[in-house]
Amino acid sequence: MLFLLLLLPSLLAALLALVVRPYRPAVGWSNAVLSLAAFGAALGVAGHAIAGEILVWGPGDLFRADSLSALLMVCVSAVAAMTLFLSPGLGRSAAFTDRQLRRYHLFINLFIFSMLLAVSVNNIGIMWIAIEATTVFSAMVIPLTLSKASVEASWKYILICSVGIALAFVGTVLGYFDFVALSGRAENALNWPVLLNFAPHLHPEVMRIAFIFLLIGYGTKAGLAPMHTWLPDAHSESPATLSALMSGVLLAVAMYALLRWKMVVDATLGDGFTDTLLLTLGLLTLFIAAFSLVRASNYKRMLAYSSVEHTGLICIGLALGPIGTFAAMYHIVNHAAAKSMMFFLSGRILHRFHSTELGAVRGLLKVMPATAILFAAGMLALVGLPPFGLFMSEFALVRAGFVTGHPWLMALLLVLLAVAFVALLRHLNSMLHGTPTAEIATGEDHRWGLVPMLMSVAVLLVLGFYLPASFQSLLDGIAALVTH
């Protein structure tokens, strides 16, 4: 039942946006309120997972929620709720036409639905379908206002991600193929627990090939270099709310898919094949992201590269055994909170400065003090400074690297993180200080819109000092999943 409560609100919201024409603010509000229900359901699922129960529901065990799913559900639904409360169309702003708003609300809810579906289904074939669907739906939201840049970004986005995700399907088919080759056709073969149980009997040589396709495929979606190229474009041209969702949780959902498969492939191969690949790609990602940040000229792209950087980190974490996975999942939560907030704030900044160029934003502290302070706090969190949660998760991650015997790789990682750190802080300072151009008005508007950001900061702060027991047992549950 919880699954219905989780999934139906967003479908209902999409339906509402579809049937009510023209768009009315009430639709936006009711969608936002509906998203709270999903969030509640996610918390309920998490409660079960913490208690050690694995929820399974639906025909043919269609839905299943272990700790891993529960964690992602909470992240996705939380960020989704924030997004919907901050979405355009809830106030009386005339920035968008009714048609655009209707389209926005329709597709963003479908997008949220497909992400939630991806993390709650049992069948990893359907998971693939859901993730593919996220591309389609989110692509529809990117060019909310038509411009050369937004069209270009969305074309690249849909093209590259569709190709990538298609390759992931090749991997999925190969995995299924191997199952079938050994034990004949079975309707539930792609149910994750079934596949995992059977995994030790699968053929290593086939699973290796399959994993490459999956890695490339889901890696494209997650923003692993060098398949990350769509990411800065899409993030910089989307509405801030969509960027927040994409960067905060979509990347995590893709990593989730990869992790599911990694567990299966590890059960088959048993050696460090997947770990080596993930480490290599993770470090490459980190390298490219860190150095891309050095010369970034656009703050939304900067945030996007930062997401790439964190994807790299998470990817490395996944390769570092159970404690690394623990750290990576911790990091996913922190990153979701920080990055979604940053994109929301970037929306506010864009609204005031009418430019996403770093050079155009000066004296943010004078122009929008509250936004600036939150933005600075978020950036400090993103670069891994205390007292924010990312400091803790990065510490845990590097510790995992040392414990699992990769001191040199961790050294490289720390160097790259330092490069990213310096780059981001320089950009941040150039935004915060200096003299704004005269025509920029000062003062904050829509003060209530800062409330969700304050909540994000609070979450980050709490996670920086304190790991609630329930959260910890959730993470431990995930770490236990990857321990054979």
Mutual angle of helices 124-141 and 148-183, in 10-degree steps: 170
- For helices 230-237 and 148-183, the axis angle rounded to 10 degrees is 130
**Alpha helices by DSSP H, 384-465:** 389-403, 407-432, 451-465
Q: Cβ-count burial of 115 within 10 angstroms (0-12 exposed, 13-18 middle, 19+ buried)?
A: buried
Whole-angstrom distance, CA of residue 384 vs CA of residue 204: 38
Type of residue at 12:
L
Based on CB atoms, which residue is closest to another protein, 54 or 212? 212
Nearer residue to another protein within complex by CB, 82 or 251:
251
Work out how close the CB of 71 gets to another protein at its nearest, in angstroms, rounded to a whole number: 16
Contact 334, 385 (CB under 8 A): no
Report, in Å, the least distance between residue 130 CB and another protein: 8
The residue assigned the tokens 């494209």 is 220
Closest to another protein by CB, 66 vs 394, is 394
For another protein, the closer of residues 65 and 396 by Cβ is 396
Question: Which is nearer to another protein, 46 or 396 (by Cβ)?
Answer: 396
What are the residues whose beta carbons fall under 8 Å from the beta carbon of 21, sequence distance 6 or more?
Answer: 98, 102
Q: 211 vs 375, which CB is nearer to another protein?
A: 211
Minimum distance, C-beta of residue 218 to another protein, in the bound complex (Å): 12
Could you tell me if 420 and 289 are in contact, meaning their C-beta atoms sit under 8 angstroms apart?
yes
Q: In angstroms, what is the minimal distance from the CB of 448 to another protein?
A: 22
Closest contact distance (angstroms) between CB of 266 and another protein is 14
> Closest Cα to residue 13, out of 116, 93, 96?
116
Minimum separation from the CB atom of position 26 to another protein (A): 27
The dihedral through the CA atoms of 32, 34, 40, 41 has a sign that is negative
Minimal distance, residue 292 CB to another protein, in Å: 6
Which CB sits closer to another protein, 261 or 391? 391
Is residue 328 within 8 A of residue 314, CB to CB? The reply is yes
Q: Find tokens 């950009």 and name the residue.
A: 427
Tell me whether residue 24 or residue 208 sits nearer to another protein (CB atom).
208
User: Based on CB atoms, which residue is closest to another protein, 13 or 165?
Assistant: 165
Closer by beta carbon to another protein, 151 or else 451: 151
CA dist., res. 17 & res. 191, Å (int): 33
Question: Position of tokens 């702003």?
Answer: 93
Q: Which of 433, 401, 439, 440 is nearest to 417 (CA)?
A: 401
- Whole-number Å distance between alpha carbons of 388 and 405: 27
Cα 133 to Cα 114: distance, rounded to the nearest angstrom: 6
Cα dihedral: 58, 472, 282, 459 (round 10): 100
Distance of closest approach, residue 109 Cβ to another protein, in angstroms: 15
Closest approach of another protein to the CB of residue 213, in Å: 7
Whole-number minimum distance, CB 39 to another protein, in Å?
Answer: 25
